[in-house]
Amino acid sequence: MNFIVSELIKKKRDGFALSDDELHFLVQGFADGSIPDYQITAWLMAVFFKGMTSAETLKLTYEMKNSGEQLHWRNLDPKLKTGFFVDKHSTGGVGDKVSLILAPLVASLGFTTPSKIPLKIPMMSGRGLGFTGGTVDKLQSISGFNMFLNDHEKVHALVESGYCMMAQNESLCPADRKLYSLRDVTATIESLPLITGSIVSKKWAAGVENILYDVKCGSAAFMTDFESAKTLAESLVAVSKNAGMKAKAIITRMDEPLGALIGNALEVKESVYILKNEFPNENMRRLAMPLRDLCVDFAVEMALLADPTLSQTGLRESCYANLENGHAWELFEKNLFTQGATSDWWNQLELAPILVELKAPRDGYIQKIDSRHIGIAGIEIKAGRRKSEDTIDAAVGFEMLCAPGDSIKKGDTMVLCHLRDKAQFDLIQDNFIEAITIADKPIKHHANLRLAEVT
Amino acid sequence: MNFIVSELIKKKRDGFALSDDELHFLVQGFADGSIPDYQITAWLMAVFFKGMTSAETLKLTYEMKNSGEQLHWRNLDPKLKTGFFVDKHSTGGVGDKVSLILAPLVASLGFTTPSKIPLKIPMMSGRGLGFTGGTVDKLQSISGFNMFLNDHEKVHALVESGYCMMAQNESLCPADRKLYSLRDVTATIESLPLITGSIVSKKWAAGVENILYDVKCGSAAFMTDFESAKTLAESLVAVSKNAGMKAKAIITRMDEPLGALIGNALEVKESVYILKNEFPNENMRRLAMPLRDLCVDFAVEMALLADPTLSQTGLRESCYANLENGHAWELFEKNLFTQGATSDWWNQLELAPILVELKAPRDGYIQKIDSRHIGIAGIEIKAGRRKSEDTIDAAVGFEMLCAPGDSIKKGDTMVLCHLRDKAQFDLIQDNFIEAITIADKPIKHHANLRLAEVT
């Protein structure tokens, strides 16, 4: 069917919903280049102002999913026939290395629990932008590690380690990628149906059957207030379900950094500490515990999505056991080598040569560590990207030595900065002064990261 | 100064006003191609939803005016040094041939009234689109008539006949033309500041000092309701004044066609009948009178804009005198030949070969003649354009034989259609049935076309 594009834009502009045929025509025409970008961006801005019905959002998601390659795991190999395919998606935050820990942890449940359901985690990740790091960037600091796998390699990793770590490639949802790059330069990123369509279409195309969304909420999150985080969570879950997936969302706090280490290679280190249950010191163990608990929480949720008859208590116990008995770590190592990591990767992990200590300016109690300012500091030293074409430095980052609620003495080291050169410290010092608030009196810090769930 | 375009779009999207520097950067970058169209259209849609402040509208108008050639009449020739440059702009309607009559009529005031102020009318016109005809199309049905004049020819016409009829050319406001063509395909035409900027920038660039706006209001007008017509009139007058022009707007009714004849060559004919005060029959004279009165009304307004000390009554009397004593007609003829019309142009004026009569289906009283449906019928027979690239047929059109309020007998001819072939009648018959409402009882028709004025 043929439509007049300006009439479709007008329809949305005036607050009406486009039909399935109209949206098919629009996305298809955009993807094949027959509709010019300048009409698409006018439509995007109209969507920003007028939103989309759930039927429109589903159809947009469907069309973007359909625009490229689609993975069907069960058909790839007989060994995957009986798998339960689960994935997690996070909207991103500072220090968010959850995927690195979560994938082997969930896989370990599939290999070892009494339930024996074969959980398979085909984890598809992107690069980072802004102060929210990307799993691809973190894993690429591991020497030899390859995230661009062919079908055979994907199957091999899934069978051997229960999971595979894939970078989004050009053939998956090309219409979404093209649309995103237009949204990026036309102030149309912050639109609920467009965000939803972009996220869900990729999970759908990646053949995920069970999806847990980690919708972060707070100063360094995409959604800074609870209400917008909740609205996004509801939209993601609703469209995923309409697309035939089992889905749940957890809204988690992103006010302070997640864990003790921030920066690409440093975050790989912290993941390994948690998976091996071996920390360089007790302070770092203490600071890593909320992150570890969140990973366990998510792993239980993902297993329950796949099989709601499993025991929540049993799963939780298995998670903690598998983090202590080395099962999760074994799968992590197995995955690394299956995906090409060199045997000396740990020693090859490059950390920046200069260490600068950030000292407490006075006695008091840490009231707040604002992850937004720390994320911005991360961009300044190239731990993160300002623009998508920027290159990053995997070796730099921050080691937090304190957390909200801690008492502190003047001169104590609060943060250890891993830098390329001392001049970088001048760039970021003000960000840390902004980020860390010291109070006179003891404060009660609310440590729980989980705020709410949407089913 | 350099700005990030997506930040400018975001600013407007969020309801803030752009600064002069920001708008300069945006329009300049659009005009020179350094900012891609897909960013401009997102901004246009944001403007559609969020509007512009009067400062923004003025700056946009200024930048579009500045994007091309600018006319300065007084510098062109010593004979123009003391001229009062006045123009009229109509938002367009069915049968609107006012410019053809008005230009020589105003010029005649400059040549003949006791006031003796040298009124000069450098009239810049466009082609028609939709069912609102363009002055350029009408004048191009005159054999030899040239509207693409060089400076010397413009001066010659202004000096000889007091006015010149120019087609908008590529060098005037190129940024506006480019912007308009994007608005046309992105459902962003109907935006008050964008409409205002587009109209006023061209008058400003054309060196007009006194401008009368005819904002039409009704079923076949761009603005169908009085409130939006008033808002547009206020915006046009305000921005024109801020740009340094003297300006006034008259809101006029566009519910039924203006005058008796519709179609390009036919409208030239009706203009000549009025200017010569010679009509083929008394019925056509009767139907042309509201149009003639409107032209006189506008001519008086334009003279008063140029010199408010003139006597309104005196000007009105001079207008009617100059339409009766041949002065206006003389200037019309002088202008025609100055601008290249052939001596036998009147006999060359081509009318379509087939005449089909539309008969009254029953006895009664004409309650309404909806110009919108007649405009659509005009497009069907190619008297008007559906798309800007369509070619038109100057020879076809409609001759109205009745007006609202008339009593009518079954079988009376209501309209004479000038067509290329009989098949065209099948295309338009339904439009006329829709257009002409016949009531059982006599109705009182409100003949006054002038609804309000904005100063």
pLDDT of A237 over the 70 cut: yes
Q: What string of DSSP letters covers A193-229?
A: HHHHHHHHHHHHHTT-SEEEEEEEESTTSSB-SHHHH
pLDDT of B132 over the 80 cut: no
Pairwise CB contact (< 8 Å): B41 & A46: no
Pairwise CB contact (< 8 Å): B182 & A38: yes
d(CA B189, CA B368): 29
- In 3D, which of B134, B125, B123, B127 has the Cα closest to residue B94? B134
d(CA B220, CA B92): 9
Write down the pLDDT at residue A114. Answer: 59
Pairwise CB contact (< 8 Å): B40 & A45: no
Q: What is the pLDDT of residues B40-68, one digit of tens each?
A: 999 999 999 999 999 999 999 999 999 99
- How many C-beta atoms lie closer than 10 Å to residue B280's C-beta? 11
Known catalytic residue at B198: yes
Which of B6, B36, B45 is closest, CB to CB, to A42?
A: B45
- In 3D, which of B281, B258, B273, B295 has the Cα closest to residue B375? B258
A184: left (phi over 0), alpha (psi -120 to 50) or beta: alpha
Question: What average pLDDT is seen over chain A?
Answer: 94
Beta pairing, strands B413-419 & B354-359? antiparallel
**What percent of chain A is predicted at pLDDT more than 90?**
87
Beta bridge partners of A450: A252
Which of A7, A45, A182 is closest, CB to CB, to B45?
A: A45
- AA letter at A390: D
Give the mean model confidence (pLDDT) for residues A437-449.
Answer: 88
pLDDT of A129 over the 90 cut: no
Residue B250: phi and psi, rounded to 5, are -115, 130
The active-site residue out of B90, B191, B198, B318 is: B198
Known catalytic residue at B202: yes
Helix A312-324 with A327-338: angle, nearest 10 deg: 70
Write down the pLDDT at residue A268. Answer: 97
Judge contact between A428 and A417, C-beta under 8 A: yes
pLDDT of B129 over the 90 cut: no
Question: What average pLDDT is seen over chain B?
Answer: 94
Q: Specify the pTM.
A: 0.87
- Using 50, 70 and 90 to split pLDDT, how confident is the model at B117? confident
Alpha-carbon gap: B49 to the closest alpha carbon of chain A (Å):
8
Pairwise CB contact (< 8 Å): A185 & B6: yes
Chain center to CA of A360? 31
Write down the pLDDT at residue A168. Answer: 84
Tokens of A436: 């860390």
For B37, the closest chain A residue by CA position comes to A38
Write down the pLDDT at residue A126. Answer: 79
d(CA B453, CA B273): 28
Give the mean model confidence (pLDDT) for residues B86-93.
Answer: 93
Judge contact between A222 and A92, C-beta under 8 A: yes
- Using 50, 70 and 90 to split pLDDT, how confident is the model at B127? confident
Look at A149-163, A409-423, B117-131, B335-349 and tell me which has the smallest mean pLDDT.
B117-131
**For B17, which DSSP code?**
P
CB contacts of B40 in chain A (<8 Å) are 38
Write down the pLDDT at residue B170. Answer: 83
**For A160, which DSSP code?**
H
Pairwise CB contact (< 8 Å): A39 & B185: yes
Q: What is the pLDDT of residues B142-188, one digit of tens each?
A: 999 999 999 999 999 999 999 999 998 888 899 998 999 899 899 99
Give the mean model confidence (pLDDT) for residues A232-248.
Answer: 97
Judge contact between B189 and B48, C-beta under 8 A: no
Residue A133 or B79, more confident = B79
d(CA A426, CA A423): 6
- In 3D, which of A176, A220, A234 has the Cα closest to residue A201? A176
Judge contact between B134 and B127, C-beta under 8 A: yes
pLDDT of B5 over the 90 cut: yes
Write down the pLDDT at residue B445. Answer: 79
Write down the pLDDT at residue A385. Answer: 86
The active-site residue out of B138, B183, B248, B292 is: B183
B448: left (phi over 0), alpha (psi -120 to 50) or beta: beta
Length of chain A: 455
- Using 50, 70 and 90 to split pLDDT, how confident is the model at A322? very high
d(CA A453, CA A328): 26
- How many C-beta atoms lie closer than 10 Å to residue A201's C-beta? 26
pLDDT of A132 over the 70 cut: no
**What percent of chain B is predicted at pLDDT more than 70?**
98
Residue whose tokens read 């010291």: A438
Pairwise CB contact (< 8 Å): A187 & B49: no
- In 3D, which of B413, B440, B405 has the Cα closest to residue B287? B405
- Using 50, 70 and 90 to split pLDDT, how confident is the model at B443? confident
Q: What is the pLDDT of residues A168-217, one digit of tens each?
A: 888 889 999 899 989 989 999 999 999 999 999 999 999 999 999 999 99
- How many C-beta atoms lie closer than 10 Å to residue A444's C-beta? 7
Residue B287: phi and psi, rounded to 5, are -70, -25
Pairwise CB contact (< 8 Å): A186 & B9: yes
Alpha-carbon gap: B190 to the closest alpha carbon of chain A (Å):
10
Chain center to CA of B117? 25
Interface test with B, best of A34, A37, A41 (most B CBs within 10 A): A41
State the count of interchain CB pairs (< 8 A) between A and B: 74
- Tally of helices (H runs) and strands (E runs) in chain B: 18, 13
Pairwise CB contact (< 8 Å): A41 & B39: yes
pLDDT of B39 over the 80 cut: yes
Write down the pLDDT at residue B114. Answer: 59
- Using 50, 70 and 90 to split pLDDT, how confident is the model at B387? confident
Write down the pLDDT at residue B113. Answer: 62
Which of A42, A48, A186 is closest, CB to CB, to B186?
A: A42
Judge contact between B177 and B69, C-beta under 8 A: no
d(CA B32, CA B40): 13
Write down the pLDDT at residue A417. Answer: 97
Look at A24-38, A429-443, B129-143 and tell me which has the smallest mean pLDDT.
B129-143
Tokens of A422: 């001392």
CB contacts of B6 in chain A (<8 Å) are 184-187
Give the mean model confidence (pLDDT) for residues A112-139.
Answer: 81
For A44, the closest chain B residue by CA position comes to B42
Task: Please identify every residue of A annotated as catalytic.
Answer: 89, 176, 183, 198, 202
Judge contact between B450 and B393, C-beta under 8 A: no
d(CA B352, CA B421): 8
- AA letter at B135: T
pLDDT of A113 over the 70 cut: no
- Using 50, 70 and 90 to split pLDDT, how confident is the model at B390? confident
d(CA A72, CA A54): 25
Task: Give the DSSP H/E element, type plus range, for residue B369.
Answer: strand B364-369
ipTM: 0.86
Pairwise CB contact (< 8 Å): B187 & A45: no
Signed CA dihedral, A403, A405, A406, A408: sign only: positive
Judge contact between A232 and A429, C-beta under 8 A: no
Give the mean model confidence (pLDDT) for residues B362-390.
Answer: 91
CB contacts of A7 in chain B (<8 Å) are 187
d(CA A45, CA B44): 9
CB contacts of B188 in chain A (<8 Å) are 42
A346: left (phi over 0), alpha (psi -120 to 50) or beta: alpha
